[in-house]
Amino acid sequence: MKTTALFAGLSLATTALATAIPLPVRSNTRPIRLLHTAPKPHNAPPQFRGARILSQAETEESTLGGAAIAAGSDHKVTSVSAAFVIPHARMPTTGPTANNTVGMYAASFHVGIDSFSAACGPDKSRFLRAGVDVFWDGTIGGEQNPWVWYQSSPTDEDGLGFSNFSAAAGDLVRFSVTGTEVKVENFGANVTCVKGLKAKQSVVQKISGAGLCGGEAAWAVEDFPLAGLPNFPVALADFGGVVFKEVEVGFERGKNGTVSKNAEGAKVRDVRLAAQGGRLTACEVVEGGKKVKCDRVVEE
């Protein structure tokens, strides 16, 4: 998509929001809405239960970045978790979408089961994920409050907010996803270590009827479209970087019970959108699989 077309769409979105009121420091309201669209399938030979999380072609367009680890033929993913500091959303200063002072920018960070490859179920749309959206809107004062959500597909066509929960950029949060529930914990602003801390807030949402395959676990950065503009993603915010730490995935191994491991061996993908400058993230698995790191970049 041409950059002019991208800014034209963003102008429509920001005009509609021009009269909105700036939010308080912490809340989980949703004045700006992203469409949490299902991951798109890849044209490749199937692996475990049709799962496909192999390496991405360098020129392949993708709104999804991060890392995913496959269960394998004798395993099934039963849980996935990670902690991360909610990044600040800022207006980019480089690339085709830079310096649009009346523009809209956003980014999403999430963990999930069967949420990376569009491979689960007869309709390839079964997954469970939970995460945080961050926003920058030049028409209403710049950075807005993040929105914390979960999504059980195909039951939920879009993300649902956690009730009685609040968060702000700089807060350390932890998401835990299983086949039956999603849990989010907030450890407060600017906290750098999870171990030994008591969560400031903790909310558990029970899930039923997800029908997951358990084929993969993922830690992701995504560029979703705005509500009302579903045909292209919103301009990706400059979020600096995000580090998923304390990453853990649980596997069920038949009669041998469950085992846990980190992200070592996970396959990595980057957000790549030609209209926004090409490669927009630099993701990697670091520290022997203990962390998944994604930096915001602009690289042709």
In whole angstroms, give the CA distance from residue 110 to residue 82.
9
Provide the token pair at 228. 């009302």
Kindly tell me if the per-residue pLDDT of 118 is higher than 70: yes
Kindly tell me if the per-residue pLDDT of 1 is higher than 80: no
In whole angstroms, give the CA distance from residue 230 to residue 137.
18
Kindly tell me if the per-residue pLDDT of 114 is higher than 80: yes
For the stretch 45-61, pLDDT in tens is 333 223 334 344 455 89
DSSP, collapsed to helix, strand or coil, labels residue 50 as helix
For the stretch 199-250, pLDDT in tens is 778 888 888 655 889 999 999 999 999 887 888 899 999 999 999 999 999 9
In whole angstroms, give the CA distance from residue 154 to residue 144.
29
Kindly tell me if the per-residue pLDDT of 150 is higher than 80: yes
Provide the token pair at 92. 């980019």
Those residues whose C-beta lies under 8 Å from the C-beta of residue 186, and which sit 6 or more positions away, are 165, 166, 167, 171, 172, 173, 199, 200, 201, 202
Provide the token pair at 163. 């009730």
Arithmetic mean of pLDDT over the chain? 81
Provide the token pair at 67. 């890392």
Low-confidence winner among 90-99, 183-192, 264-273 (lowest mean pLDDT): 183-192
Confidence of residue 14 (pLDDT cuts 50, 70, 90): very low
Kindly tell me if the per-residue pLDDT of 262 is higher than 50: yes
The share of the chain scoring above pLDDT 70, in percent, equals 78
In eight-state DSSP terms, residue 86 is P
| This prediction's pTM | 0.84
Residue 82's identity, in one-letter code, is A
For the stretch 267-298, pLDDT in tens is 999 999 999 999 999 999 999 999 999 999 99
* Residue 163, pLDDT score: 80
Beta strands in 86-227 (DSSP E): 104-113, 127-137, 142-153, 160-161, 171-178, 181-189, 201-206, 216-222
* Residue 47, pLDDT score: 31
Low-confidence winner among 97-101, 195-199, 212-216 (lowest mean pLDDT): 195-199
N-terminal to C-terminal alpha carbon distance within the chain: 15
Provide the token pair at 253. 């191994």
Those residues whose C-beta lies under 8 Å from the C-beta of residue 287, and which sit 6 or more positions away, are none
